[in-house]
Structure 1
């Protein structure tokens, strides 16, 4: 092997080593935008959970609209078939399944979704989580940033933000995971949420 060949190999190795050891850009410490009471968005959601000792999983597309007093959520299959629509107000929650089934109401959407859908959809918490805000286990307001992306809420949900919208002036969540040990018949709840499009009003 010639000296030139050896030199070329050594040079390439040096370049590769330099790339491998180059310091990574630290995550941004900039916090997400202030909480907005009114917004609408579309996205995808995967729910995994253990029920009666059996692992279950469901994936849905969802639309979400909220204002200061109300939250409306529609869940649909990838083919556009309605799974359920949900209305949450200060007076309680109403869930309507697809088809001709009558609406069902309850004071708590968490308990109602668990009873009707078979898995928990924490709408009250997600009003803030979708924007990168939460109340932590000590009851204090928490704000996400790429450098501070994990928290456990006062309700026992562990949130982890794993993706951020590109091109936003300030960090805005695009993907997050939410995990809860569960209770009753539903155990090991795990939600994976992806926000496709959001409009702030």
Structure 2
């Protein structure tokens, strides 16, 4: 019995040792530093999977998102009518391409994606939310953890919850998040991140 108690105590202590102690600085100060550091990274890439749930449909898609300055590209592969969708955009607008050869152009990426897939995603602000940032120039409510990372973010009628984090280039970035919007729920699992500068 004493051996068993000793082993349980060792496991508990080992688990405690793996948790980094909270910093001795205010969370909002740490968050401001994180925002500044991410702003200096004008190239980033993430990939993973996202479950899309609506009252009439439930699908899972794989995604690969790359941004370089004002240019960006999002590849989504899943059970769309064409099997895959690629969005490629910049300050002038966005081009959508499908696996079966269709191509279209629009100013609004969200409207274009909705036209081809039927899913209303907040493309104009999703690039910020996916990095754990509130979209600029829009009111929001946010709760931070002790490390200055968002735990929850409410903005533009959406509720975002961050449930996992990973590190890339010394910065904490979301690895798991849920987004609840009007008649839609998204669950994203981002397995890799790369950050850089031109």
Provide TM-score, normalisation by structure 1.
Answer: 0.68
CA deviation after TM superposition for structure 1 residue 155, in Å: 1.7
Asked if the contact 1:42–1:62 (Cα under 8 Å) also holds between the matched residues in 2, the reply is yes
Aligned to 1:164: 165
Asked if the contact 2:96–2:112 (Cα under 8 Å) also holds between the matched residues in 1, the reply is yes
Can you list the C-alpha shifts for 1:77-136, whole angstroms capped at 9, x where unaligned?
5xxx971111233333321111221x2233322222122122234333232223321148
Asked if the contact 1:157–1:178 (Cα under 8 Å) also holds between the matched residues in 2, the reply is no
User: Which structure 2 segments of 5+ residues have no match?
Assistant: none
Classify the secondary structure of the residue corresponding to 1:133: coil
Greater Cα offset, 34-43 or 19-28: 19-28
Aligned to 1:5: none
Distance 1:147 1:200, change over 3 A: same
**For the aligned residues, what is the CA RMSD?**
3.6
Aligned to 1:199: 195
CA deviation after TM superposition for structure 1 residue 175, in Å: 0.9
Asked if the contact 1:62–1:74 (Cα under 8 Å) also holds between the matched residues in 2, the reply is yes
Aligned to 1:134: 134
- 1:1-201 correspondence runs (5 A): 9-10=1-2, 12-13=4-5, 16=8, 20=12, 24=16, 25=19, 26=21, 29=27, 30-31=30-31, 32=34, 33-36=37-40, 38-50=42-54, 53-67=55-69, 69-76=70-77, 83-101=84-102, 103-135=103-135, 139=139, 146=147, 148-166=149-167, 168-169=169-170, 171-182=171-182, 187-201=183-197
Asked if the contact 1:92–1:108 (Cα under 8 Å) also holds between the matched residues in 2, the reply is yes
**Matched length:** 181
* Greater Cα radius of gyration, structure 1 or 2: 1
Structure with a larger share of its residues in helix:
2
Can you list the C-alpha shifts for 1:10-50, whole angstroms capped at 9, x where unaligned?
46436636865999545555443332462131311213221
Q: Give the distance between the partners of 2:67 and 2:176, measured in 1 at CA.
A: 18
Q: Give the distance between the partners of 1:181 and 1:140, measured in 2 at CA.
A: 14
Classify the secondary structure of the residue corresponding to 1:99: coil
Distance 1:27 1:161, change over 3 A: farther
Q: Give the distance between the partners of 2:113 and 2:5, measured in 1 at CA.
A: 57
Provide TM-score, normalisation by structure 2.
Answer: 0.69
